[in-house]
Structure formats: C-alpha cells, structure tokens
Amino acid sequence: MSDKVIPLLDQRRVHAVPALPSQLLAPTGLLSDALGRPLRDLRISVTDRCNFRCGYCMPKQVFDKQYEFLPHSDLLSFEEITRLARVFVAHGVQKIRLTGGEPLLRRHLDALIEMLSEIRTPEGLPLDLTLTTNGSLLARKAASLKAAGLQRVTVSLDGLDDAVFQRMNDVGFPVADVVAGIEAASKAGLGPIKVNMVVKRGVNDQEILPMARHFRGSGVTLRFIEYMDVGATNGWRMDEVLPSSSVLARLREKFDMQPLSASVAGETAERWSYADGQGEIGLISSVTQAFCGDCNRARLSTEGKLYTCLFAHRGHDLRALLRGGASEADLSGAIGLLWGARADRYSQLRASGATTLGDGERRVEMHYIGG
C-alpha cells in the first residue's frame, strides 16, 4: 500500500434515523435551512461501484477485491428513489443529478430516468434532470438516456493524453472511448455538456492547455476542479492542489479571457469566457474559495441516507423511514426538519482554519454520496 493512502473506516455505519416532527407541516416549496439557504439541488448516488479507480476518489489500494460494496438489497429501489425525489421537489428541489460511483453501471437506469422525468415542481415545471459520468459507457448509452428523458450530462475527464488519463483512472481505460462518449452525448442532444477536470498539481496539470484547446469552440464547457479533501482515503495534501487562480493564469497566458457573472444563485463555478466568442470555462474552487454561503445542495447516498454537506461525516437514514412504513407526510416532515436545522459550511470553516471533526469521525467517501 502506498504510504499516502489512508485505510477506510466504514463511515457508512455512522448515521442517525431522522426524527419525525410532532406537528406535520405540508411542504411549501420554500423550505430554507438555519442559514437561510433554500433546497434546490438534489444529487442522488445510484451505485457505490465504479469501473475506474481515480486516486483522488477510490484509490485502488483501498477499493480492492476485498472491499465490500453494498449488497443490492441495501440500495434504494427506483420506486424508493422516486418517492423521496417527489418529497424533495415539493420542498423546493428543481434540479436532480444522478451520480455515483459510476451511475451508468446501475442496471436499467433508463427506467429510473423515465420515472424522475415525470415529476413536476409545485409550479408545474419539469425538473432539470442531469447525470455525472466518467463517460466510459456513454457512447453505448447516450441515445437511450436521452430517449428516457435525461436532459444533459456532465462528463469527468482529467486529461487528453492517453498515458496521463490512464494514470488518473488507474485501470488503463483509454481516453479515446471517453472522447467518443462525449461526442455521442452531443449527437444525442444531451447538452449543454460540461466536462469536469480535477487538477492535481504535478500529476495532470500539464493537460490544462490541451484540454482548453480541445473544447474551445466545441459548445462543451470545460470546468477545472480543485482537488478536494473529500472522503478519508485519498491521502489529500494541500501541495497537490493547484489553485484555480493558477489555472486561470495559465489560460490567460494563451487566451484573452473575460469574467462572466453567475447565471444562477448557488452556482459552484466561477465562469470566464473566451473574448473571441469561442465559449466559456468554469473554475470550481472548493478549496481556495469557499462557496457555502448559497449552497443549496442535498445528497442522497446509495442506500438512502441524506447528507446535507459533501464533507459531512454522518447521514440521516431516510431508508429506515421508507421501509418502516412512513407516510408522505412523515417523509416530508422529517426532511423539512433536517433541512431546517442545517448549518453546514465546511469549506468556509476550513478556509478560516476552524474545522474540527469529532472523536473518531471520518468524512463520507465521495463515490458513495456522489459528487
């Protein structure tokens, strides 16, 4: 085992069963948390499995043949996911992102997409329904995903050079297949497509300019993500983070760039456009610039735990309520209570040097609650 990788302590077992409020209040779509932030974005992890072993997410020394992924019976069924999604939407969620693990590994995912695409907001509008994928199966699946009702995709791609990419995914997966997946998604109408590149200093930062050149003018928005200290196994070190400011400086050496204003509140990326009209890029600075102030994202883990922050170490077991016979009003009351009490702002606290984790607590892994 590499000395940097930290063995896993199974924090999936650290959870609480949510309390039901004594008085059940109907959802109004206007729920807000203890810091006044609404609930708009729900990320649902549909599997904890993945066919890649990106070192920053599922280092293969930890997620090896011995690692016990969740048994199928532990996963939320499509009916359970849809039931919860309806309650979240009644509370104000407008956007659902399917993620994982690798979401395209979940069998019959099209059926879930069809079910979710039928949900309407309290105003009668369809959801913004999207999916984040490593792209490995996208060429094969893009058309059927679109037909099922998926609107768009975000594809993770950490470089164009095949050797660099294979080192990043750590399973020898060829970059050409992911590039073909992005093209297939574009042809199928799953746009506007975003491509996420996690930048690790000294590992794939030489790919910043080739990636920018490749996607400039293609209609695809490339977003550079700072390598984050999510989970507890990736051996994260600050000196491997390349700050977004350095990414931008490298881009500005080659291209004339202009800042754009945020298109929606709670947007995670700072947007910049190419002055010659060849599109835009995004910078996601979760390490160097905290953006908790308008964070409106909730995460539902593969087996139905609600996490109110990416850096949480404890989930709230909604599956226990679902399988224990809770009514819609119960579910709505429990979710309302949980979101109403939410005061998470991990990135901000870290930036001010004030983060603490309690005794023996470890943060939840990214592949399990989704990005």
Nearer to ligand SAM, 90 or 198 (CB): 198
Residue listed under structure tokens 């943060």: 363
Q: Decide if residue 58 touches ligand SF4 (CB under 6 A).
A: yes
Nearest CA to 224 among 245, 199, 201, 192? 199
Q: Decide if residue 50 touches ligand SAM (CB under 6 A).
A: yes
Site string for ligand SAM, 168-197 (x = CB under 6 A): ----------------------------x-
Q: How far is the CB of 240 from ligand SAM (least distance, A)?
A: 10
Residue listed under structure tokens 């019976």: 73
Q: Decide if residue 205 touches ligand SAM (CB under 6 A).
A: no
What gap in Å lies between CA 337 and CA 153, rounded to an integer? 32
Q: How far is CA 307 from CA 18, 264, 314, in A?
A: 12, 23, 7
Q: What tokens appear for 364 in the block?
A: 């939840």
Residue 156 has what DSSP assignment?
E
Q: What tokens appear for 347 in the block?
A: 């990135």
Binding part of the chain for ligand SF4, among 21-29, 80-88, 232-240, 305-313 by CB under 6 A, reads: 305-313
Site string for ligand SF4, 11-50 (x = CB under 6 A): ---------------------------------------x
Binding part of the chain for ligand SAM, among 50-58, 165-173, 264-272, 319-327 by CB under 6 A, reads: 50-58
Binding part of the chain for ligand SF4, among 85-93, 104-112, 172-180, 303-311 by CB under 6 A, reads: 303-311
Site string for ligand SAM, 226-245 (x = CB under 6 A): -xx-x---x-----------
Nearer to ligand SAM, 227 or 307 (CB): 227
Q: What angle do CA 29, 315, 71 make, to 5 degrees?
A: 110
What gap in Å lies between CA 291 and CA 281, rounded to an integer? 18
Q: Decide if residue 101 touches ligand SF4 (CB under 6 A).
A: yes
Q: Count the site residues for ligand SF4 by CB under 6 A.
A: 23
Q: How far is the CB of 266 from ligand SAM (least distance, A)?
A: 17
Nearer to ligand SAM, 130 or 332 (CB): 130
Q: What tokens appear for 165 in the block?
A: 């990419």
Q: Decide if residue 75 touches ligand SF4 (CB under 6 A).
A: no
Site string for ligand SF4, 146-165 (x = CB under 6 A): ----------x---------
Which does residue 292 bind out of ligand SAM, ligand SF4, none, counting CB within 5 to 8 angstroms by kind?
ligand SF4
Q: Decide if residue 54 touches ligand SF4 (CB under 6 A).
A: yes
Which does residue 296 bind out of ligand SAM, ligand SF4, none, counting CB within 5 to 8 angstroms by kind?
none
Nearest CA to 306 among 125, 88, 1? 88
Residue 32 has what DSSP assignment?
B
Q: Which DSSP string corresponds to 90-126?
A: HTT--EEEEESS-GGGSTTHHHHHHHHHT-B-TTSPB
Q: Are 315 and 9 in contact (CB under 8 A)?
A: no
Q: Decide if residue 298 touches ligand SF4 (CB under 6 A).
A: no
Q: Decide if residue 132 touches ligand SAM (CB under 6 A).
A: yes
What gap in Å lies between CA 42 and CA 23, rounded to an integer? 25
Helix boundaries (H) for the chain: 78-90, 109-117, 138-148, 162-169, 175-188, 208-215, 244-254, 318-323, 328-340, 346-351, 366-369
Which does residue 345 bind out of ligand SAM, ligand SF4, none, counting CB within 5 to 8 angstroms by kind?
ligand SF4
Nearer to ligand SAM, 57 or 93 (CB): 57
Q: Are 284 and 224 in contact (CB under 8 A)?
A: yes
Q: Decide if residue 62 touches ligand SF4 (CB under 6 A).
A: no
Q: Which DSSP string corresponds to 270-317?
A: EEEEETTSS-EEEEE-TTTS--GGG--EEEE-TTSEEESSTT-S-EEE
**Interaction site with ligand SF4 (CB under 6 A):** 50, 52-54, 57-58, 100-102, 134, 156, 291-292, 295, 297, 309-311, 344-347, 367
